[in-house]
A and B are shown apart, each in its own frame.
Chain A
């Protein structure tokens, strides 16, 4: 079972690779919309990639109002 810190680290790595942002530029409390510069479509894309990576089913309404990696990690952790 992953810890929430491991989940967070995997999210940051996945986001860095997919959105071509250096990993060291991403911090847990960053606003991922701003840091990654993503639009609505890319947000759905990120959600699907995270679900596929962690093998979870995460309804989009669970992410409403979530904009930082740390909270995102806690939402995913709750379904692992």
Chain B
């Protein structure tokens, strides 16, 4: 791992500040599953963001892996850690993980930069929640979104529901959440989630072009406008952690995780 504020080269992600734009690339095989390693490196990024913000006007988050943007939480790691620890310790560990990732996501959400998620392929669960943290989502036409958590007996835990509620109508949120369906970029644009759909392989290029446009505006005005129109639902985010931890204690979740981890099903991306 090499690091300076303007440049970071980790195992799960890297970032570089260049000409006022921070590009954060996720790159943990197989599809950027978020476990302790990624969380630790995201925390390094969040800690650097204040300094980076003095020199940057935009942040682009993307994936350098072909499989997609991010498949969400590392369910295998979660299952193994739950097996190693007793129920009380496992729940405490989950709570700690959620509080840490919420701090990171809240920091990115509130950053005085314009933030863009450039997504392609699998954008599921925690990966979808990471995209929702950003101000704009630019999607490759092959991007696919999903909140599959209910299939495991859980709810999204990285801030997904409060942020979806902030950005979309409640009926849309219920459809996505209660059916656990996956949906494509066209549907995502239709419901107001995605600002631009682009051809395959073009999301990062278009995000760079968008970041260049954003750079033409006065920084203070842009960050003031963002603060005005994008409040962070802190109370609901905290409530989400509590609900998640309550649900996590139920035997159905352990069974669901085991089924997912041990499955030879042809659709393991969907529990």
Encode B166-200 as 1/0 by CB contact (under 8 A) with A.
00000000000001111110110000000000000
Given contacts A59-B179, A61-B181, contact A44 B269 (CB under 8 A): yes
A41 x B184 contact (CB < 8 A): no
Q: Which of A14-41 contact B (CB under 8 A)?
A: 33, 39-41
B269 x A41 contact (CB < 8 A): yes
B142 x A49 contact (CB < 8 A): yes
Interchain CB contact (< 8 A) of B141 among A44, A52, A57, A61: A52
B122 x A41 contact (CB < 8 A): yes
A5 at the A/B interface (Cβ < 8 Å)?
Answer: no
Encode B244-271 as 1/0 by CB contact (under 8 A) with A.
0000000000000000000001111110
B67 at the A/B interface (Cβ < 8 Å)?
Answer: yes
Given contacts A49-B142, A61-B179, contact A40 B186 (CB under 8 A): no
Contacts of B67 in A (CB 8 A): 41
Size range of the chain B interface in the assembly: 20 to 34
Contacts of B144 in A (CB 8 A): 44, 47-48
B266 x A39 contact (CB < 8 A): yes
Is chain A's interface secondary structure helix, strand, loop, or mixed overall? Answer: helix
Contacts of A60 in B (CB 8 A): 146, 181-182, 267, 270
Given contacts A39-B266, A52-B141, A60-B270, contact A44 B183 (CB under 8 A): no
Least CB separation from A49: chain B residue: B142
B269 x A40 contact (CB < 8 A): yes
Distance between A58 CB and nearest chain B CB, rounded to angstroms: 9
Distance between B139 CB and nearest chain A CB, rounded to angstroms: 11
A interface residues, Cβ below 8 angstroms from B: 33, 39-41, 43-45, 47-49, 51-52, 55, 57, 59-61
B interface residues, Cβ below 8 angstroms from A: 31, 67-68, 121-122, 141-144, 146, 179-184, 186-187, 265-270
Cβ contacts A to B, 24 pairs, < 8 Å: A39-B266, A40-B268, A41-B31, A41-B121, A41-B122, A41-B269, A43-B266, A44-B121, A44-B182, A45-B121, A45-B142, A47-B144, A47-B182, A48-B143, A49-B142, A52-B141, A52-B142, A52-B186, A55-B186, A57-B186, A59-B183, A60-B181, A60-B267, A61-B181
CB-based closest 4 A-B pairs:
A59-B181, A60-B182, A40-B267, A48-B184
